[in-house]
Structure 1
Amino acid sequence: MKPTVYITRKIPEEALEIIQASCEVKMWDKEDTPVPRDILKKEIQDVEGIYCLLTENIDAELLSEANNLKIISNMAVGYNNIDVEAASEKGIMVTNTPGILTETTADLTFALLMAASRRLIESSDYLREGKWKTWSPMLLTGQDIYGATLGIIGLGRIGEAVARRANGFGMNVLYNGRSRKMRAEEELDISFADKETLLRESDFVCVLTPYRPETVNLINESELALMKSSAVLVNTSRGGIVNEDALYDALKNGEIWAAGLDVFKTEPASPDHPLLTLPNVVALPHIGSASKHTRLNMAKMAADHLLQGLNDEVPAHLVNEVRV
């Protein structure tokens, strides 16, 4: 008898076919609409597998309803949407999709850095709104990227990929994380710095650290106050790592130059979010990994993890310790 799984959102057909070949599938198929919690609460009761996105909050309360659940396959690198401890207590495997989106997210990170520093969105709007009347020597001037100092907070796979891109721009790269990475320092010609030094010396600061209890509000008033008034902050990790109220004040008051944001504390962000009122903010709707190739491969990887767990195999990217 085939195991029953629940998919919380429409996924690419190629990934769906992988699952349907081995499982009885139920799926929330409303386009671009997260599954309501009451429906997920009902569906989780009897299924053996859940295939979810980061939009689903699978907490201890929800997991208490799971009677036969063996695996939660999360189509994302981050998994702070899942109470991993509660899942582990019930012997439920949790997987994510790391590595596959590294280069795509690094591309987006560097694109945000460039767009914010050179005022690309602001300049495009200036042209489209008919404000361009003549050439002017200081019109829409931004910050130089080539030869500048880049500070990377969180040197994981994506952080290293961003550092490689920075090398092509002749940038001096500093990084900070939980530990030094001597191999990366040698290969990428980068230097470890404590967080305060990194913030003081960097022209650009990229936040790429995972979301954990200790990284909530990692960038707050005191950290922003250390940065240069010409500095650009880029966040493509998770919204809660940067205190949005503090960032708004710093940008509005000219304490830092600009920000490029792909993530927000609450998603989707409201159109009247204070940060979206500022001209020196380039904001995107969490599209860091949004290339067709990458998203398709993420979907297929999550499908493979789901089947591995259902077959009592150790999935390729298991994030918790569970006896299989």
Structure 2
Amino acid sequence: MGAPPSPTHHNIVMLQTQYFPCPHFDLPPQYTKTEFIYKETPRSELHARIHDATIIVLATTRLDAVALSPEVTPYLKFIAITASGTDCIDLDACKKRGIVVSNSPGVNIEAVSEHAIGLYFAARRKVLQMHNQTRRGAWVHKTTLMFDMLNPDGTAPLTCQEEVAGVIGYGVVGKRIAHLAQSLGMKVLISGRKGAGATALPSALQSEERTPFEEIIRKCTVIFVVVPRNGSTIDLISTPEFKNMSPHAVVVNVARGGIVNEEALVAALKENLIAGAATDVFLQEPASPETSVLLREDAEDLNLTVSPHMAWVAERTQQNLVDVTKKIVEGWVAGQPCNVVI
């Protein structure tokens, strides 16, 4: 790589610059830097590239306990994540070594929230199924595809005015989704924590009223999943939740894979427990029919719309990433850290 760093010289290693333009870092006058810019980083080259780093900038590259050990990254002091999620980093390993981690919350608010609404319409209106059937000539064969638009119980799709939307995860993206849903005419309920029961109601620490998670599952006709993935949110929605949902329910996940159990979701759609679903995320990414039941042949005819973790992509997001990454790296070097996770 380069020469080992000194107290006033930083080696800044950017592992994934294919996602947005590389920022130019202006460090305080007493500091110098060497920048190592990589468009993408295969696992086979990761350890060599980060060995002399004091600062690592990444989006989704996995840094496990081995990568964060003193043997592999002896000089590492700071990690800047160009995303809001931190599940790619072993935070416990960072905490043990005193490595500071900052993330980039809010950079994709507009893009992800708009994508979530788009996925909702795709699922509620069966857009993908109607597209495929029309292209296959089914419209001519059947003379009308109206009946293919109906729910399993024979009812027609709801419009926004009839929807009761549940937002699970009320961070900046969840708030934006709630605002868009309300603007479309939906009644919006904000979910409390799973299992919290009555403690989900307002407290001195939260101004917005919360509806108990279990009530969200029972009452809502569209559920937006926007929570971080951690130990408490894995399989947050699985078989018991699907069995308690309205048959008109549509589930939209723009958070992380694994929060909605993939096998349970496919089973719920096959058994007509819910009306439809859409997801931008998968338990294992990149996803394929070999790694996800959502992409297998027997799921092709289900009312399930998928996109390849691209909800964040927008010109605004890319500029926000440049600005926020520059801010958090320069701020940490100057002794003014921001967006600190640990």
User: Does residue 1:318 correspond to 2:337, yes or no?
Assistant: no
1:152-210 CA distance string (max 9 Å, x none) = 11111111111111112221111213455579998xxx852211111111111111111
Query: Any conservation in 2 of the 1:73–1:303 contact (CA below 8 Å)?
Result: no
The alignment's C-alpha RMSD in Å is: 2.5
Q: Secondary structure at the match of 1:78?
A: coil
User: Does residue 1:23 correspond to 2:33, yes or no?
Assistant: yes
Query: Any conservation in 2 of the 1:19–1:25 contact (CA below 8 Å)?
Result: no
Q: 1:128 to 1:19 in 2, by over 3 A?
A: farther
1:147-226 alignment, distance < 5 Å = 147=161, 148-178=163-193, 180=201, 192-226=210-244
Query: Any conservation in 2 of the 1:12–1:296 contact (CA below 8 Å)?
Result: no
User: Does residue 1:43 correspond to 2:66, yes or no?
Assistant: no
TM-score by length of 1: 0.88
One-letter amino acid of the structure 2 residue matched with residue 304 of structure 1: K
Query: Any conservation in 2 of the 1:145–1:169 contact (CA below 8 Å)?
Result: no
C-alpha separation in 1, matches of 2:182 and 2:272: 29
Aligned to 1:145: 159
Q: 1:28 to 1:271 in 2, by over 3 A?
A: farther
- Cα displacement (A) at 1:48: 0.8
User: Does residue 1:108 correspond to 2:115, yes or no?
Assistant: yes
Q: Secondary structure at the match of 2:149?
A: coil
1:275 to 294, 299, 324: 294
Q: 1:210 to 1:42 in 2, by over 3 A?
A: same
2:63 to 55, 58, 64: 58
Q: Secondary structure at the match of 2:258?
A: helix
Q: Secondary structure at the match of 1:214?
A: coil
> Which consecutive unaligned segments of at least 5 residues does structure 1 have?
none
Q: Secondary structure at the match of 1:61?
A: coil
Query: Any conservation in 2 of the 1:160–1:184 contact (CA below 8 Å)?
Result: no
C-alpha separation in 2, matches of 1:12 and 1:114: 27
Q: 1:25 to 1:201 in 2, by over 3 A?
A: same
Q: Secondary structure at the match of 2:98?
A: coil
Q: Identity percentage over the alignment?
A: 29
1:66-77 alignment, distance < 5 Å = 66-77=73-84
Query: Any conservation in 2 of the 1:220–1:243 contact (CA below 8 Å)?
Result: yes
Aligned to 2:5: none
Aligned residues: 311
One-letter amino acid of the structure 2 residue matched with residue 143 of structure 1: P
1:26-83 CA distance string (max 9 Å, x none) = 23335xxxx22232112222111101112x1112111002111111111100101111
- Cα displacement (A) at 1:121: 1.5
> Which consecutive unaligned segments of at least 5 residues does structure 2 have?
1-7, 151-155, 194-199
1:220-251 CA distance string (max 9 Å, x none) = 11111110122111111111111111111111
